[in-house]
């Protein structure tokens, strides 16, 4: 009942009335456009990207300079294939040119930051309208999993770290009660906490569980080993880390409900999500153009793994055009038997964050570090490395803005998360090498990884 009232009365009043957002309008239109034919989607993308390019070159100093330098004009792009002529944008370019990438046209902008699965923190902007559009995509994608706004949800997710002011905590709690969401932090999953999380979950009886992949998998294994029975949700939605087949099987067996994989990032929010056919991730096609390219910027042959490159069609505040986001995915898009015209991404290959084990039985999610370090803008790169059960090492590449106070605060926050049973060191280095696959792995545990992880994806 609350779900219906929330969706039809409270959310429109709050979102549209109080906040003046267009989220619900975009959501309604996305529910319709998901059934468009692939041709109609392509036509919409071409028109949208042409408008975006014209805007970017006319109002963003960075794009004006780059297009002039390369002798390009926005009008040259008449099809999606023509995008190949445009340069790629990467994280370091965004970091170095944030103010030049912003549009000079006055509009309401929001500031965001990400720790990044690639270990290179990023601060960026987006305009409010584009935020409404991406929230709408998330509503639609989560809706496929039965997790549309108003459903009773339990989140096993990263919660704010460090010293959060009291009023912020109160505000966050009010929001959650309004949205019918209960949040359990996945950052302190000790065996004791997992048992009490199970009790709270059974009391709360969520319709849907939304979780980071690896902590949920560890939790499922814990429940199974202890023989703990849980309230059965309608479905589970996982994100932030790749879902492997063996993890899906375990989670579905333990919770007795289907798992829906999602793929998103702070820069774009929901990039893809599974429908009930579970045959791939439907792309947020009305908002994003997704390309899979090799290291030379050429299209990756279908079935092979390449770099994910994304153009956000509506971030007019700070256009991301052909942005290499650091993730890797299997090339080749397919269609789905559900009839939606949104192409399917066949699988994500990157984004693996290990879970670290400590001698006192804690399981530290890789997301713990990603979340924490995103709040330190002078950290340029980092890698967390557990050589053996007793020692965790954090390697950092920092700018001159990184102070001694930053250092001790970061150290204290990490120590709080990992507990006293493990040695911890910080090492300041000039560079952090990439792995053999060209991927910068942020959180690495030196321990055998189950064979299925390596055989599933031909990286």
Binding region for Zn ion (CB under 5 A) = 275, 277, 336, 338
Report, in Å, the least distance between residue 272 CB and Zn ion. 11
- Tally the C-alpha atoms within 13 A of residue 373's C-alpha that lie toward its C-beta: 29
Q: Among residues 216 and 275, whose Cβ is nearest to Zn ion?
A: 275
CB of residue 267 to Zn ion, shortest distance in Å: 25
Rg of the chain in Å (alpha carbons): 22
| Cβ proximity of 330 and 347 under 8 Å | yes
Q: Which of 50, 277 has the CB closer to Zn ion?
A: 277
Identity of the residue, 336 or 410, whose beta carbon is nearer to Zn ion in the bound complex? 336
Q: Which two tokens stand for residue 69?
A: 């330098």
Minimum CB–partner distance for residue 336 and Zn ion (Å): 3
Nearer to Zn ion (CB atom), residue 337 or residue 400: 337
Contact 433, 399 (CB under 8 A): no
Please, is 395 exposed, middle or buried when counting C-beta atoms within 10 Å of its C-beta (0-12, 13-18, 19+)? middle
**Least distance to Zn ion from the beta carbon of 280, Å?**
8
Beta-bridged to residue 393, according to DSSP, are 385, 425
Half-sphere exposure of 218 (CA within 13 A, CB side): 25
Residue 313 — φ and ψ, nearest 5°? Answer: -70, -15
Q: How far is CA 381 from CA 123, 393, 417, in A?
A: 13, 14, 20
Other Cβ atoms closer than 10 A to 88: 14
- Shortest gap between Cβ of 335 and Zn ion (angstroms)? 9
Question: Which residue number, 67 or 263, has a Cβ lying nearer to Zn ion?
Answer: 263
Q: How far apart are the first and last CA of the chain?
A: 47
Taking the complex as a whole, the smallest distance from the CB of residue 333 to Zn ion amounts, in Å, to: 12
Residue 369: CB minimum distance to Zn ion, A: 34
Nearer to Zn ion, 275 or 410 (CB): 275
Q: Which is nearer to Zn ion, 224 or 276 (CB)?
A: 276
């Amino acid at each position: 009942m609350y779900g219906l009232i929330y969706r039809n009365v409270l959310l429109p009043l709050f979102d549209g009335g109080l906040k003046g957002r267009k989220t619900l309008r975009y959501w309604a239109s996305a529910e319709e456009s998901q059934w468009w034919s692939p041709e109609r989607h392509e036509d919409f993308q071409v028109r949208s990207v042409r408008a975006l390019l014209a805007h970017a070159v006319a109002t963003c100093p960075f794009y004006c300079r780059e297009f002039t330098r390369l002798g390009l004009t926005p009008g040259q792009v008449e099809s999606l294939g023509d995008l190949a002529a445009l340069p790629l944008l990467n994280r370091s370019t965004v970091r170095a040119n944030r103010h030049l990438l912003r549009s000079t046209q006055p509009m309401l902008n929001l500031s965001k930051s990400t720790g990044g699965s690639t270990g290179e923190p990023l601060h960026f902007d987006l305009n409010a309208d584009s935020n409404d559009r991406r929230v709408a995509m998330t509503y639609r994608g989560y809706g496929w999993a039965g997790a549309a706004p108003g459903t009773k949800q339990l989140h096993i997710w990263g919660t704010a770290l460090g010293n959060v002011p009291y009023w912020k905590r109160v505000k966050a709690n009010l929001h959650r009660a309004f949205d019918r969401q209960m949040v359990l932090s996945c950052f302190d999953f000790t065996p004791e906490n997992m048992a009490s999380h199970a009790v709270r979950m059974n009391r709360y009886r969520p319709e849907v569980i939304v979780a980071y992949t690896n902590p949920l998998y560890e939790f499922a294994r814990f429940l199974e080993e202890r023989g703990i029975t849980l309230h059965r949700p309608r479905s589970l939605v996982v994100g932030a880390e790749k879902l492997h087949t063996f993890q899906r099987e375990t989670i579905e067996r333990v919770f007795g409900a289907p798992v829906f994989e999602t793929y998103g990032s702070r820069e774009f929010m929901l990039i893809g999500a599974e429908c009930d056919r579970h045959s791939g991730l439907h792309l947020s096609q009305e908002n994003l153009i997704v390309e899979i390219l090799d290291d030379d910027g050429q299209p990756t042959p279908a079935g092979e793994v390449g770099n994910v490159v994304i153009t956000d069609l509506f971030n007019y505040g700070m256009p991301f055009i052909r942005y290499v986001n650091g993730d890797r995915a299997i090339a080749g898009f397919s269609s789905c038997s559900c009839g939606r015209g949104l192409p399917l991404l066949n699988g994500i290959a990157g984004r693996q964050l290990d879970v670290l084990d400590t001698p006192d039985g804690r399981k530290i999610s890789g997301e713990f570090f990603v979340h924490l370090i995103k709040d330190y803008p002078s950290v340029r790169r980092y890698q967390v490395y557990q050589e053996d059960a007793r020692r965790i090492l954090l390697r950092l590449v920092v700018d001159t803005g990184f102070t001694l106070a930053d250092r001790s605060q970061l150290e204290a926050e990490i120590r709080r998360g990992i507990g006293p049973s493990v040695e911890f060191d910080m090492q300041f280095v000039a560079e952090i090498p990439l792995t053999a696959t060209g991927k910068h792995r942020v959180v690495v545990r030196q321990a055998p990884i189950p064979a299925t992880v390596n055989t599933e994806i031909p990286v």
